[in-house]
Amino acid sequence: MAACAVVRCAVVGHVEWTEFALVDHVPAPGNIAHAFDDWAEPAGGGAVVATQIRKLAGTCDFFTALGDDELGHKCAERLGEMGLSLTVEWFGRTRRAITLIDEHRERTITTFGPKLRPNGEYDFAEYDFVFFIAGEPEVLRAARAARFLAATTREVPTLKEGGVQIDLLIGSGRDPGEHYDGGIDATIVVATEGTDGGVVNGRRYDALTTPGQVVDTYGAGDSFAAALGFALARGDGLDAALALAARAGAGVVTGKGPYTSQIWA
């Protein structure tokens, strides 16, 4: 498939209203840290993946769930301003998070409240690419109607319950919460290892050197995953797709927050 071909894309996933703070250090128990910059915006894996895909594909439909509360509506407004086409299920209470960015630019995240998982009835048969970040098993089964389906190892229990074939399964090889030890019918399996690259179907790949000073590592893994899935869905070979994904992961860390330095097509 030509690189300029139109790829109809969707993401099913969660959102967290996230408060970010650049701090001099992450405090030990009983200590105090001091922030020298702070901001807040909708984030979480679903939002970050959807936004990176939109920048590569031109458009992206984002199926998510938010609380019918002030933060939920702020999330929806901001995500719409960033160019996403939203389908929102309104229930529960919008999940929140606090992210500390330390002196080494590494992020530490604390979440508040359960992850809100889309559970509506959707038809994905007309989509070329769906990335399943979070949702109920019935939504995963509906997503399998897409030509190419990617998913994250953060959702292994849901993927096993859903029981569908996954074209790309990707997650952190270092985060215990994303550990994968088999049991899913997946064609391509990727375990990322940050600046050390990672492993795809048993072979190693290299990361890229960042194109500038590292400012904030939040969103690097999700941007990498989004670009890899998009490239494979449009027909790139695995090596070319990994190269684009590496550029996405390296680029996002040079900006504040997950969106300012994501790559564009």
Please give the average pLDDT of every successive group of 10 residues along the chain, which has 265 residues: 73 98 95 96 98 98 98 98 98 98 94 98 98 98 98 97 98 94 97 96 96 95 98 98 98 97 97
Amino acid at 243: A
CATH of domain 9-252: 3.40.1190.20
- Residue 142: per-residue pLDDT: 98
Query: Measured at the alpha carbon of residue 147, what is the angle toward residues 235 and 263, in degrees to the nearest 5?
Result: 50
- Residue 1: per-residue pLDDT: 41
Give yes or no for a contact between 258 and 219, defined as CB atoms under 8 angstroms apart.
yes
pTM for the full model?
Answer: 0.96
Question: CA 92 to CA 113: how far, in whole Å?
Answer: 10
- Residue 2: per-residue pLDDT: 43
Contacts 24+ apart (CB under 8 A), 196-199: 197/246, 198/173, 199/173
Closest-CA residue to 228 (of 254, 259, 207): 207
Q: Extract the tokens encoding 183.
A: 């049991």
Q: Report H helices in the chain.
A: 45-57, 70-81, 137-143, 156-162, 220-234, 238-252
- Residue 159: per-residue pLDDT: 98
- Residue 3: per-residue pLDDT: 47
- Residue 207: per-residue pLDDT: 95
Question: CA 244 to CA 230: how far, in whole Å?
Answer: 10
- Residue 4: per-residue pLDDT: 53
- Residue 44: per-residue pLDDT: 98
Question: CA 216 to CA 259: how far, in whole Å?
Answer: 11
